A and B are shown apart, each in its own frame.
Chain A
Amino acid sequence: MTQSKIALVTGGSRGLGKNMALSLAKKGIDVILTYHSQKEAADAVVEEIKKTGQKAAALQLDVSNAAGFDGFIREVQEALKNTFGVDKIDFLINNAGTGAYAPFAATAEAQLDEMINIHFRAPFLLTQKALTIMADGGGIVNISSGLARFSYEGYAAYASMKGAIDTLTRYQAKELGARRIRVNVVAPGAIATDFGGGAVRDNEQLQGFLASMTALGRVGLPDDIGGVVAFLCTDDAKWVNGQKIEVTGGIHL
């Protein structure tokens, strides 16, 4: 049997990240997923992946704490050795993140710093540190948001960081090309998950509005996203590099 490729998915215990992890496994890719606080949920995803015949492991990671990244990379190396029998990952999916809702005029510095840390510094610095354990010819998938293109009140800080990720993606694609590492960014629209306290999932009025703005006439579900991330980690996407794919059913076209 040939060695399966291995993807590291941050924030893989629930929501979109969970669906990405499962979608990758379905394509024959082994998965290391991280969780912030929900160890049991993460272990459940690991079990589900193992049932599909792929290897999996879950590691704790607080993406807002850059001081912990060196220790985290060492843990990944141990997991690679112990669980996967190799020393490199092939794909990195920078998915982890939390929502923050505040009008621009009232956004506190602490709120802004939190968004910077989670949505920009972490993908920047964690990816930098992960380069040493990434195989040449692999790939990085960053997760942005439809909100980086269109604007909803209250997302100035969050969406600005996602805009930064879009730009970083192109620079990474450019600079990592020499190692044949492809870098792309997936931008989901509004998805009914527990993201942002379940803002989309629990608000019927908001759902009705979003559905009316979406060509395909409904709100997104977690299962809508993972397949695109998985595609970007396959040979079918071998020439897709530096691209942004919005996965929103066609919102605000």
Chain B
Amino acid sequence: MTQAKIALVTGGSRGLGKDMALSLAKRGIDVILTYHSQKEAAEVVVAEIQQAGQKAAALQLDASDLKGFDAFIESVQRALKETFGTDKIDFLVNNGGTAMYVPFASATEAQFDESLNVHFKGVFFLTQKALPIMADGGGIVNISSGLARFSHDGSSVYATMKSAVETLTRYLAKELGPRKIRANVVAPGAIQTDFGGGRVRNSPQLQEMLIGVTALGRVGLADDVGGVVAFLCSDDAKWVNGQRIEVAGGVNL
């Protein structure tokens, strides 16, 4: 049996990250997923992946705590050796993140820094530190948001961090090209998960507004996004590099 490729998915215990992890496994890719606080949920995902016939492991990571990244990379290396019998990951999916809804006029420096750390500095430096344990010819998938293209009240902090990630993605594609590492960014629209306290899932009024501006006439589900991430980690996407794919059913076209 050839060695399966391995993807590291941050924030893989629930919501979109969980669906990404399961979609990758469905394509024959082994998965290391991280969780922030929900260890049990993460272990359920690991068990589900193992039932699908792929290897999996769950590691704790606070994507906003840069000081912890060196130790985290060491824990990935241990997991690679112990669970996967290898020393490199092939794909890094920077999914972990939390919502931030606050008007521009009243956003505090602490809120700004919190979003900056988890959505931009964390992605920047975790990726940098992961480079030595990434195989040449692999890939990076960053997760942005439709909000980086269109604007909803209260998302100025979150969305500008996502825009920075989109620009970073092009630079990663450019600078990691010599190692044949592709970098792309997936921008989901509004999805019914527990993201932001279930903001979309729990508000019929918001859902109705979103449906009205979405070509395919419904709100996104967690299951809508993972297949695109998995595609980007497949041979079908071998010439897709530096791209942004919005996965929103055609919202605000």
Does A66 touch B at the CB level, under 8 Å?
no
Tell me the count of chain A residues lying within 8 A, CB to CB, of chain B: 38
- B85 nearest CB across to chain A (Å): 29
Max chain A C-beta neighbours (<10 A), residue from B217, B224, B236, B249: B236
When chains A and B are docked, how far (Å) is the Cα of A249 from the Cα of B174?
10
- B60 nearest CB across to chain A (Å): 30
Render A165-181 as a binary contact track against B, CB cut-off 8 A, 1 for contact.
00000110110111010
When chains A and B are docked, how far (Å) is the Cα of A252 from the Cα of B236?
22
When chains A and B are docked, how far (Å) is the Cα of A166 from the Cα of B209?
26
Size bin of chain B's contact surface: 35 or more
Please give me the residue from chain A that is nearest to B186 by CB atom: A240
Contact present for B231 and A243 (CB under 8 Å): no
Task: List residues 132-187 of chain B with CB under 8 A from any CB of chain A.
Answer: 170-171, 173-174, 176-178, 180, 182
Does A135 touch B at the CB level, under 8 Å?
no
Report A-chain residues with C-beta under 8 Å of the C-beta of B227. 234-238
Shortest 4 CB-CB contacts between residues of A and residues of B: A177-B215, A236-B227, A227-B236, A215-B177
Known: A230-B236, A237-B227. 8 other contacts (CB 8 A): A174-B253, A177-B215, A227-B237, A227-B238, A236-B228, A239-B224, A241-B249, A245-B243
A positions within 8 Å CB-CB of B: 23, 170-171, 173-174, 176-178, 180, 182, 214-217, 220, 224-225, 227-228, 230-231, 234-243, 245-250, 253
B positions within 8 Å CB-CB of A: 23, 170-171, 173-174, 176-178, 180, 182, 189, 214-217, 220, 224-225, 227-228, 230-231, 234-243, 245-250, 253
The 29 listed contacts between A and B (C-beta, < 8 Å) are: A173-B250, A174-B250, A177-B214, A177-B215, A177-B216, A177-B217, A177-B249, A214-B177, A215-B174, A220-B239, A227-B235, A227-B238, A236-B228, A236-B230, A238-B224, A238-B227, A239-B189, A239-B216, A239-B220, A241-B215, A241-B250, A242-B253, A245-B240, A245-B245, A246-B242, A248-B241, A249-B239, A250-B173, A253-B170
